[in-house]
Chains A and B, each alone.
Chain A
Amino acid sequence: MEEKDVILEVKNISYFVREKKIIEDISFSLKRGGFYCVIGTNGSGKTTLLKSITNNVELNAGDVKVNGKPIKKYYPKQLAKELSIVWQHNEFLFDFSAFQVVMMGRMPYQKLLQADSEKDLKIVQEAMEKTNTWHLRNRSIKQLSGGELQRIMIARALAQESPLMLLDEPISSLDIRHQFDVMELLRKINRENGTTIFIILHNLSLALKYSDEIITLKDGHLVHFGKTRDIINKENIQNLFNVDAEIIDKDNIIINK
């Protein structure tokens, strides 16, 4: 893989809380434009991995590079132009309109005291139309359903115009219909905008259906990294999750106990 094709490079990272190893010696790199999925049991270090590569925790070892430059060297605003994040939990005690929340995605581009420009408005509208949320723009963020809220948060990430979008289990609290909607939306963003998607998922069949490549974690270690179809198989799933699985075809999987 040529260096310019690599958008994110993770090298031998470890993170401990006191003596406990949360993640240890993880390395991988993401190609520009790929659709990556991370799976693993609860407590396997998925969210910590995401926090590590977004500069939200102090690593004990290793380094993370975005576009060949260590993330520590980025100013926060610069980094926000390179990568956007959709977190699993979004709590709003204060009343913003959906539009205002998506407009926050333009913050990395706005100077001190600068008002929202025509360009910002256009980008926000495009992001909201793409995520099918433009009709919700005047609604209070507190009154949106789970699915609507996640689409708004994805629209906000889109408005950041970053080449890399990271998502932490964005669909885990949604029903199956809305899970598909969000995954379809991410596929569309991946294909039409060329955004590299890196998503933590719990649902194996969705991972199988949508991702090009997959990263599996167990007890804080990277177990597999490669083409999704090569990795999702009976033995690996048994090993990772301790369940019995049957792969029906390229999109479907049945889990038995």
Chain B
Amino acid sequence: MKDLIWYFVLTLIVLGLVVLGLFWGSVDVSSLDENSIYIIKNIRLPRVIMSLLCGAGLAVCGSAYQSIFQNPLSDPYILGVSSGASLGAAVAIILGLESFFFGIGGFAFLFALATVWIIIKIASVGNRLHTTTLLLAGISINFLIAALIAILMVLNSENMDKIIFWTMGSMSATKFSDLWIVFVFVLIGIIAIRLYARELNAILTGNESARSLGVNVERTKKVILLFSTLMIGIIVAKSGVIGFVGLIVPHIVRILVGSDNRRIIPFSIFGGMIFMLLADILSRVLIAPSELPVGSITALIGSPFFIYLLYNAKKQLNP
């Protein structure tokens, strides 16, 4: 009941930010003439909707990753999964495979999945994932992929602009036609994760502990990894790599409502939307009429936050 009131308040905040996102920008649209209406409808509306979808999707993915890896510092960006997806997108563009196997989105998903697999292989000790190794594996994968993308860009300078887009993240190129596919995959992903929320809670108390409560731990982890990585693949394919949303939002939500995923998921949806909308608006107005990549805004907020979390987690990481 109390949650419902909060959902209502948060919906109002999101709507307020949507209005702000539609009317505030480098072009003054207060006159509401034909030109302004065109800008609002065809340029700002799709990117505002894309921000809502990406924010919600990335935040819920983050909380799902944190549960599966039993580690509060996990997020698709830090573990290199988002970079993996961007490499997939770059490869698809360079090889001219945009219309093959679901195009760029399909490749982004496959590469993201491969990255998850590699990270799990590197970081697992027995059937446990070691926190430090997990983070180091993610960092090294990020280095490797950054190098590969740099090489791809130099070798394919004619596609450089397109590829840069995937490494920085931006909503500016959003078209209405992109929104449907993102909506469908984010919706399916969030529903799947919500259905497993109780199982994820149990997994947070340890694999054996969860198993003794009747949770099929291996199956749950596989299903959640598959759906959340699918979401990441599609989001990265359409808006590029946007980091730290999945780290910051679930973390703040957890402080406010506790660790129960049944509450973290809905609140993360709102939190992700609000964070992403704010970041997108900032990316457009900070140096107007030019624009910053939204990924750089989230990283500017996210990196110090991550360092702060690492600083606090020192004792847990080095027992």
Q: Which residues of A contact B (CB under 8 A)?
A: 54-56, 75-81, 83-85, 87, 89-97, 100-101, 104-105, 107-108, 110, 112-113, 160
Question: In the complex, what residue of chain A is closest to B194 when comparing beta carbons?
Answer: A113
Residues of A within 8 A of B16 (CB): none
Q: A80-B213, A80-B214, A94-B72 are in contact. Are A113 and B195 (CB under 8 A)?
A: yes
Minimum Cβ distance to chain B for residue A4 (Å): 24
**Number of A-B residue pairs at CB separation under 8 A:** 72
Contact status B209-A93, CB under 8 Å: no
Contact of B258 (CB < 8 Å), options: A81, A83, A100: A100
> In the complex, A105→B215 CA distance in Å?
11
Contact status A107-B198, CB under 8 Å: yes
> In the complex, A84→B212 CA distance in Å?
6
Question: In the complex, what residue of chain A is closest to B66 when comparing beta carbons?
Answer: A94
Residues of A within 8 A of B212 (CB): 54, 80, 83-85, 87
Mark out the residues of chain B between 18 and 77 whose CB falls within 8 Å of any chain A CB in the assembled complex.
70-72
Q: A96-B259, A100-B260 are in contact. Are A108 and B213 (CB under 8 A)?
A: yes
Question: In the complex, what residue of chain A is closest to B201 when comparing beta carbons?
Answer: A104
> In the complex, A196→B201 CA distance in Å?
28
Residues of B within 8 A of A79 (CB): 214
Contact of B254 (CB < 8 Å), options: A76, A95, A108: A95
Contact status A112-B204, CB under 8 Å: no
Contact status A90-B216, CB under 8 Å: no
Among B71, B208, B212, B215: residue with most chain A CB under 10 A = B212
Asked whether B205 is an interface residue with its Cβ less than 8 Å from the other chain, the reply is yes
Contact status A101-B213, CB under 8 Å: no
A/B interface sample: 11 pairs, CB < 8 A: A75-B214, A78-B214, A79-B214, A81-B214, A83-B212, A87-B209, A93-B70, A96-B201, A100-B259, A107-B213, A113-B195
Residues of A within 8 A of B201 (CB): 96, 100, 104
Contact status A105-B204, CB under 8 Å: no
Contact status B258-A95, CB under 8 Å: yes
Among B70, B195, B204, B254: residue with most chain A CB under 10 A = B204
Minimum Cβ distance to chain B for residue A158 (Å): 13
Residues of A within 8 A of B209 (CB): 87, 90
Minimum Cβ distance to chain B for residue A214 (Å): 24
Contact status B205-A104, CB under 8 Å: yes
Contact status A87-B260, CB under 8 Å: no
Q: A77-B214, A78-B214, A93-B72 are in contact. Are A87 and B202 (CB under 8 A)?
A: no
